Structure 1
Amino acid sequence: MKRFGTLSFGHYGPLGGGRELTARDSMLQAIDLAQGLDELGVNGIAFRVHHFARQQSAPLPLMAAIAARTERIEIGTGVIDMRYENPLYLAEEAAAVDLMSGERLALGVSRGSPETVHRGYEVFGYESDDPRGADLGREHFLRFLEAIDGVGLAERDPHSPFGGGTGLQRIEPYSPGLRSRVWWGAGTRETAEWAGRLGVNLMSSTLLTEADGRAFDVLQAEQIEAFRAAWRESGHAGEPRVSVSRSIIPITTAEERMYFGGRQDGDQIGVIDGTTSTFGKTYAAEPDVLVEQLLQDAAIQSADTLTITIPSQLGVAFNLRLMESFARYVAPALGWEPTREVAAGASA
């Protein structure tokens, strides 16, 4: 594990006891959290994208704001639902954020997660014959890749007062290295292999649409190897990046024990989108116990990047303390080297 970061679901709404976290609160806290993580030397911060839900649904403006307030941290998504996206408009926005951030964008995209509404992408103007819209997500993604690759897409007007010319014009702005920072979120071996053949990075999902009795981390490690094999067989240069997500809570205080003590559980089997799937376990323990457990997680050992899902509703200070504990007491034993010294009390 060379890098680690956070994944926020960005929930907002009632918190109980008459308290409420507003959409504005959620976004401003995300900016504050990113600044704190940047100061800690954490490698990345990413946001889950869900439409028609009290979560982040249009993350690019938030990511641009974070880019302006940070220096080193990768800013990403996990994942943008391509069924909803105009791929050319997304290409413009992504290139703009990548350039403004100094090439720190880590754009995770995919078919998307199960929704709170029925076929919501149709309300956005996109139709699919597939019950889950998988064909639509892939079609939009391939068009998006064309755009960020700089392929000419629109015929120039030779009579235009704004330059004119002949031939095909690419999307602007153009960020030359953006394609190397695009990730496909895969929940199956088949989609992981597809990503490998395309030459994009792999964001292995928090669930796999497989259930054969073996542990989630073993299934996920096989998915990662299938992705890398497809990458090599397709002749792509260099090494792709691979990330896995986990719910990991270092317990170092009474407050953390109150919230998460006893929460550690095993893998779970459930049905999602009509498919029997395996969901990864939650790790919640003292740091020395976490080290032993995570060193036994086959997928974490296979990936170069670990993304930790955080309880964003508990606030900035709480989550910075969790990540500081992970950075100081757990991550180095997994192979992580901080981008800067992790100072004690950085979350104060």
Structure 2
Amino acid sequence: MQSFGTLSFGHYGPLGGGRQLTAADSMLQAIDLAQGMDDLGVNGVSFRVHHFARQQAAPMPLLAAIAAKTQRIEMGTGVIDMRYENPLYLAEEAAAVDLISDGRLALGVSRGSPETVVRGYEKFGYTGADPRGADLARDHFDLFLRAIEGEGLAERDAQSPFGGGTGMQRIEPHSEGLRSRIWWGAGTRETAEWAGRKGVNLMSSTLLTEADGRPFDILQAEQIEQFHAAWRAAGHPGTARTSVSRSIFPITTAEDELYFGHSNEGDGIGYIDGFRSTFGKTYAASPEVLVEQLQQDAAIAAADTLMLTIPSQLGVEFNLRIIEAFATHVAPSLGWKSTLS
């Protein structure tokens, strides 16, 4: 592990006891937290994207705001559901944020996770042949990649009052290097291999849609290995990046113990999208115990980036303390390289 950041689910709504976290609260707190993380030298901040839910649905304005108020930290998504996206509009937005941030966008996309509604992407005007929309997501992704690569996609109008000429026009703005910072979220070995062949980075999911009795970290490390093998076989230049997500809570105060003291559970087995799946466990312990546990996690060792799933509903101060404890007492022993060094 060289880098670490956070993955926020961005939930808002009733918190109990008459308390309410609004959509505005959620976004403004995310900006404040990102600023604090940037000051700590944390490498990245990412957000889950869900439609028809009280979570982040349109992340680009949030990422642009974070870009304008930070200096070093990467900002991204984990993941944008490509079934819902106009590929060319997404390409324009992504390039704009990448330019505003001086090349700090780490955009995670995929077919998306299960929704709160039935085929919500059809309400956005998109319909595919696959009942789960996998074909739609990949078709949209292919066009998105062509756009950010700078391919000419529309014929220039020689009679246009805004500039003549001939030839094919690319999407504008265009950001050089953005293509190398695109990630595909994969929950299976098959999709990880596909991402390797496509030449995009791998964002390994918080679950794998398989369960053969082996621990989650072993399954995930194998997935990462197969991704790298596919990347090499395809002959892509450069070095592929890989990330994994974990729920990790250094317990340093009585409040931490109250919230997370009984959360140190093993891997979970369940069903998602009709597939028997393995879910990663939660790590919650004193910093010295966490170091020992995380050094034994095969997938964390195999990936270059670790994303901590944070309880964003608990506010900026609480989350920043958790992140600072991890950065100070745990991450250096795992090979972390701060953006400040």
What TM-score results when the alignment is normalised by the length of structure 1? 0.97
| 2:148 equivalent in structure 1 | 148
Which amino acid is 1:66 matched to?
I
Matches of residues 1-348 of structure 1 in structure 2 within 5 Å? 1-340=1-340
Assess if the C-alpha contact under 8 Å between 2:67 and 2:100 holds in 1.
yes
Which amino acid is 2:256 matched to?
E
Helix, strand or coil at the partner of 2:63: helix
| Superposition deviation, residue 112 in structure 1 | 0.2
Helix, strand or coil at the partner of 1:108: strand
| Superposition deviation, residue 235 in structure 1 | 0.4
- For residues 271-304 of structure 1, give each alpha carbon's deviation from its aligned partner in whole angstroms, at most 9, with x where no partner exists: 1011111100000110001000000000000000
Helix, strand or coil at the partner of 2:32: helix
Helix, strand or coil at the partner of 1:20: strand
Helix, strand or coil at the partner of 2:238: coil
| Superposition deviation, residue 62 in structure 1 | 0.3
Which amino acid is 1:202 matched to?
L
**Alpha-carbon distance in 2 for matches of 1:121, 1:164:** 37
| Superposition deviation, residue 337 in structure 1 | 2.2
Helix, strand or coil at the partner of 2:301: helix
Unpaired segments of 5 or more residues in structure 2?
none
Unpaired segments of 5 or more residues in structure 1?
342-348
Assess if the C-alpha contact under 8 Å between 2:48 and 2:78 holds in 1.
yes
Helix, strand or coil at the partner of 1:53: coil
**Alpha-carbon distance in 1 for matches of 2:164, 2:225:** 48
**Alpha-carbon distance in 2 for matches of 1:93, 1:304:** 27
Which amino acid is 1:122 matched to?
E
**Alpha-carbon distance in 2 for matches of 1:103, 1:204:** 22
Which amino acid is 1:57 matched to?
A
| 1:344 equivalent in structure 2 | none
| Superposition deviation, residue 262 in structure 1 | 1.3
| Superposition deviation, residue 131 in structure 1 | 1.6
- For residues 73-119 of structure 1, give each alpha carbon's deviation from its aligned partner in whole angstroms, at most 9, with x where no partner exists: 00000000000000000000000000000100000000001000000
**Alpha-carbon distance in 2 for matches of 1:339, 1:79:** 23
**Alpha-carbon distance in 1 for matches of 2:211, 2:258:** 33
Which amino acid is 1:329 matched to?
H
| Superposition deviation, residue 256 in structure 1 | 0.6
- For residues 232-267 of structure 1, give each alpha carbon's deviation from its aligned partner in whole angstroms, at most 9, with x where no partner exists: 000011210000000000000000100110111011
**Alpha-carbon distance in 2 for matches of 1:54, 1:274:** 24
Q: Percent identity?
A: 78
Helix, strand or coil at the partner of 1:102: coil
**Alpha-carbon distance in 2 for matches of 1:165, 1:84:** 34
What TM-score results when the alignment is normalised by the length of structure 2? 0.99
4+ runs deviating over 6 angstroms: none
**Alpha-carbon distance in 1 for matches of 2:337, 2:182:** 23
Which amino acid is 2:297 matched to?
D
| Superposition deviation, residue 164 in structure 1 | 2.1
| Superposition deviation, residue 157 in structure 1 | 0.3
| 1:345 equivalent in structure 2 | none
**Alpha-carbon distance in 1 for matches of 2:330, 2:52:** 36
Assess if the C-alpha contact under 8 Å between 2:73 and 2:339 holds in 1.
no
Query: How many residue pairs end up in the alignment?
Result: 341
Which amino acid is 1:83 matched to?
R
**Alpha-carbon distance in 2 for matches of 1:112, 1:165:** 40
Helix, strand or coil at the partner of 2:293: helix
- For residues 39-62 of structure 1, give each alpha carbon's deviation from its aligned partner in whole angstroms, at most 9, with x where no partner exists: 000000000001000000000000
**Alpha-carbon distance in 2 for matches of 1:152, 1:276:** 43
**Alpha-carbon distance in 2 for matches of 1:186, 1:323:** 25
Helix, strand or coil at the partner of 1:107: strand
**Alpha-carbon distance in 2 for matches of 1:200, 1:337:** 23
Helix, strand or coil at the partner of 1:90: helix
**Alpha-carbon distance in 2 for matches of 1:273, 1:198:** 25
| Superposition deviation, residue 340 in structure 1 | 2.1
